[in-house]
Amino acid sequence: MVIASISLLRLELNVAGEGVAVSRIVLVTGGGYGLGKAVAARFRSGGDAVIIVGRNVDRLAGTATEIGARAIPCDATDARQVARMADELGADLDVVVNVAGGNTDFDQPDPHGTDLDQVAAAWRANLDANLLSAVLTTTAVLDKLRPGGSIINIGSIGAEYASTSYGAAKAALAAWTAGLSSTAGTRGLTANLIAPGYIGETDFFRGKLSEQRRTALINATHNKRAGQPTDIAETAYFLASDGARHITGQTVHVNGGAHTTR
Ligand SMILES: NC(=O)c1ccc[n+]([C@@H]2O[C@H](COP(=O)([O-])OP(=O)(O)OC[C@H]3O[C@@H](n4cnc5c(N)ncnc54)[C@H](OP(=O)(O)O)[C@@H]3O)[C@@H](O)[C@H]2O)c1
């Protein structure tokens, strides 16, 4: 009975050699809003200590207060800021969920044009936001992750149709995650990528998703609904659980059937 209720907590031996439960320490980049906030809240509700990272200091602080997390402001694409964030974290970590990212083409003047300077800027922005952010954060905290821990990256269904810099960046993230799994495995860690389909209730589309496009995205699913942030949060929570220790190096699609693997 007791074992079941503590199965998601770490067990450590006390001075008497008895196993005692201690809460895990979980880092969520992009934890101030959207999917990251839902992921952070899920781990908190499971009893874990959670640290959230983001660039918008006020929003990050508000979310930290709301869900009972610790906030560390940091741009995950900036090597120096990531190094400082890692220094502030403390010695140990159990789970890192790299959620920070998004399609930076929404902020570019002409990402699909023919001006090569603009094309280069657009591709670099998406590679920074979606690939480098996870690479820098994971590299900075790898030595802190205790055996039994997990690395979880957030990709996208867009990687399956990688005609844009966003899709290509997420495809690269998936490839890197699969390779990372072999390094992680020797440390007793798992490394997986969750690839969401269309998820509502986020700021991903920056208010630029037309009703027609939204309907098309929902119609492409088998269950005819938008994904919810909790769909991703529950999947991340499972991948970090004791029951998922033999799942590593995988892309886990969460999209209502909009993309199937067969
Ligand atoms: N929503 C969808 O339909 C969907 C589908 C597939 C994949 N995804 C992926 O899911 C992830 C989360 O997106 P979302 O839908 O939750 O979008 P969102 O509502 O815009 O949230 C993005 C979060 O990431 C943070 N962030 C972005 N860049 C960052 C950086 N450089 N450093 C630190 N934090 C950063 C943002 O906070 P700050 O602005 O404060 O930094 C924000 O908290 C992204 O990787 C996205 O590509 C989303």
**What's 88's domain CATH number?**
3.40.50.720
Tell me the β-bridge partners of 96: 27, 151
- How many distinct structural domains can be found in the chain? 1
pLDDT in tens, 3-24: 333 334 566 666 677 776 668 9
CA–centroid distance, 115 to ligand 1, in Å, is 27
What is the position in ligand 1's atom list of the atom closest to the CA of 166? 47
Query: Which residues are CB-neighbours of 1 under 8 A, at least 6 positions away?
Result: none
Q: Are 42 and 236 in contact (CB under 8 A)?
A: yes
Q: Is residue 110 part of a domain?
A: yes
Ligand 1: residues whose CB is within 6 Å?
Answer: 29-30, 32-36, 53-56, 59-60, 75-77, 99-102, 129-130, 133, 154, 156, 196, 198-199, 202-204
Amino acid 14: pLDDT? 63
In a domain, 190, yes or no: yes
- Average pLDDT (29-58) is 98
Residue 1 falls inside a structural domain: no
pLDDT of 112 reads: 87
Separation CA 151–CA 163 (nearest Å): 27
pLDDT tens for 210-249 read 999 999 999 999 999 999 999 999 999 999 999 999 999 9
**pLDDT for 1:** 31
Atom of ligand 1 nearest to the CA of 227: 3
Which pLDDT score is estimated for 11?
A: 61
In a domain, 144, yes or no: yes
CB 217 within 8 A of CB 202: no
Asked whether residue 18 is domain-assigned, the answer is: no
pLDDT greater than 80 at residue 261: yes
Question: Structural domain of residue 230, as residue ranges?
Answer: 24-254
Interval 88-127: pLDDT, tens? 999 999 999 999 999 999 988 888 899 999 999 999 999 9
- 12: in domain: no
Distances (CA, A) of 113 to 6, 118, 164: 54, 8, 12
Residue 17 lies in a domain: no
